[in-house]
Structure 1
Amino acid sequence: MFAVHYTEFGGPEVLHLAEAAAPHPLQNQIRVRVKAAGVSPVDAALRSGRTPMSARLALPHIPGVDAAGVVDEIGPGVTGVAPGDEVFGSVELAGLGGASAEFAILRSWAPKPATMPWAQAGAAGTSVETATRALDLLDVHPGMTLLIDGAAGGVGSVAVQLAVARGARVIGTARPSNHDFLRKLGATPITYGPDLPTRVTSTNHPLNPTSAGANRALDPAGAHLDHARDVAGTRDVRALNADGAPADRAHSAAGALDHHALNAAGARVDRALDVAGAGVDRALDAAGPRVDRALDAAGPRVDRALDAAGPRVDRALDVAGAGSLPELISLTGDPASVLSLADFSAASHGVRLSMGELAGEPHGRHGLRAAAELFTQGRFVIPIEAEFSLMNAAAAHTAVESGSRRGKIVLILDDHPA
């Protein structure tokens, strides 16, 4: 088969297209004829020889861990896939490569949606797995507010979309030129860099109902108190009590709206106004005839009480590794609510650094099928920065090393490269 490989470590110029022995699948593996293969910063770092993991490579080495293609061989123990199926996924990560070739062995995969371009499919595997693993470790679920530091890159942009699909509200950091890009993915953008708490506080992002923010507490769509009262009509204040307590207790908590009393009760105002995270409109729909009186009793102190709570972020994901961990801890209030994918000083801050399966962590491979389903629903995309032919693999590696990007770099394979 033809493949990109290198026989020595160095810059992109060490990459060459050459003949190589075709691999065959082992237990729980499949082989695909590759249509597209992703190129990642890890591939470039391994090729350069500057990372200790390079010492694990046997030269010549074929780079690349993400691929998409057509199944042509199936290993023992594999079910649910047949030759001719179109799939996308990643190689056995312990091998640190093998995807930038005519044939590749996949360890994890999912069916490729028929309308998904090969370039997107080829670049998706490890970004989806990494983002899924991170969101699982952070236990991101509906109603939370998640801040992603470094949201416009390959992993960050995937994490934004998967978190939004889980029902989270996402704030993403990026340079100003990428803010519109993040908005299209469903995130509220802020500029990355020092003093993140100030920028989070000033954002118009509708913060999490379980955190703070007056508008959000009264109406997930951002409506104000008057609108909530108009919509409520003659509904029961019991819906305002997240614990299902009797109406008089709910009236006591919501009517007085003394934020000190609410804090003593172990709940923010917005938690009292939201039943199990369902949102005010649904909660009020389930209610009875006294919500007007409860809201009227609140009077002008509502905004003051809610403003006093201040904005808060429930979880934070560090993708950039740019030294933001102290500020992310400040925003969440707990190092356990922060996860880093890139900052090797994380442990010194009490923050977990996720290294994936190679470090013995639970994998996120189940995210591949979820991402494929979201794509078919029009709710997911793998942003592509640039495409290169296999002959131009060196240029692809140069592009990966060039700095901040808005998406993935991918190799497109011809059946018979010159």
Structure 2
Amino acid sequence: MHDIRAIRENPAAFDAALSLRNLAPVSPEILSLDADRRSRISAAEAAQAEQNRASKEAGAAKGRGDEAEFERLRAFVTAKKEENALLQAEAAALDAKLAELLMGIPNLPVDSVPPGADENDNVEIRRWGEPGRFDFTPKEHFEIEGVKPGMDFETAAKLSGSRFVVLQKGVARIHRALAQMMLDLHVDQHGLTETWTPVLVLSKMMEGTGQLPKFGEDSYQTTEGWWLIPTSEVTLTNTVNGDLVEHASLPRRMVAHSQCFRSEAGSAGRDTSGMLRQHQFEKVEMVSITDTENGLTEHGRMTRCAEAVLEKLGLPYRTMVLCGGDMGFGARITHDLEVWLPGQDRYREISSVSYCGDFQARRMNARYRPEAGGKPEFVHTLNGSGLAVGRTLIAVLENGQQADGSVILPEALHPYLRGKTRLGADGELV
């Protein structure tokens, strides 16, 4: 949500920031609606003042027995009352139209976001690890011999349709171990607070983080007013919805492991093989709630938290800053972590870490009380995958695959697998 006062004060800057997203200027439409709304409000206030004045004069006229003047003033009061009601209704309709327009406009990128149209214009800022060398042609995760017994797409399709999977045997245990390892790392070493939240939320919560009203088709609505979360960003961020928090309690750093649900609208034909793009998946999500001064610093910190997971697992990756045309709706700046997948011979996204400024907080009316005093200010919010569990599983399987169909597992997982170090070609841990 955008601050209408900031748009009034500098519409050119607003449109210039949106141009980084390759969007046409919208401030003329916004300001026109705003001017019409404000003129109705002013006119309604004037009509109300005239109504109040005439009511007093009518009382005085009745008191002195001037019936003709009393009737004239009473008719005038009635007319002004009707005029006031009409103007207020018009102002309310314009206010709703303006709010709908503002709710549909994405966040403004920070100045350092590179220009560009799509993922081809994203900029690499660092790289870690070297892709492994194989003396055979590496396979995609679902083709590895030891993975096949534990990754069942046919049964999942029978149960739920396409883009679901049933995990079994060693693969299921590795998947579970990955989530546990991520949580322990973020809690024990990164100082995040482990949190468990519902996966079913009210529409108001989806509006608060920007999934509604514009992107309803990307998520699943269960019954009227209830939605399955696309990520626990929704629940973690909305823990401060409508709250006035103390400055001393910031930053609030949370992490949650949850099921996530996405319709993948618009992705028809993309990544249809394997479990790279699923309707139901698991993610370890990080969210920070901070003040106005420390958002970008917190963004760098959160990015490092996500990178640390990949480094602990020994998975080569690169960190990208997204260009304006590729950023998500609510972000001011986003770092994507892309992990190396030898089966595809390319880097693929495994985490997005975004700084949202006060964009979500305005939608949620989430504020903090500055320690130095003064009026409350909107909090700033951040979110990032730490990591997507299924995609991390894919990366572990592909990077550790062996010629005999087995998979050597990262040392960081051994304690979570009771000392098992390898996924055998039969799908069992050994």
Q: TM-score range by the shorter chain?
A: under 0.3
TM-score (norm 1): 0.20
More helix, by proportion: 2
TM-score (norm 2): 0.20
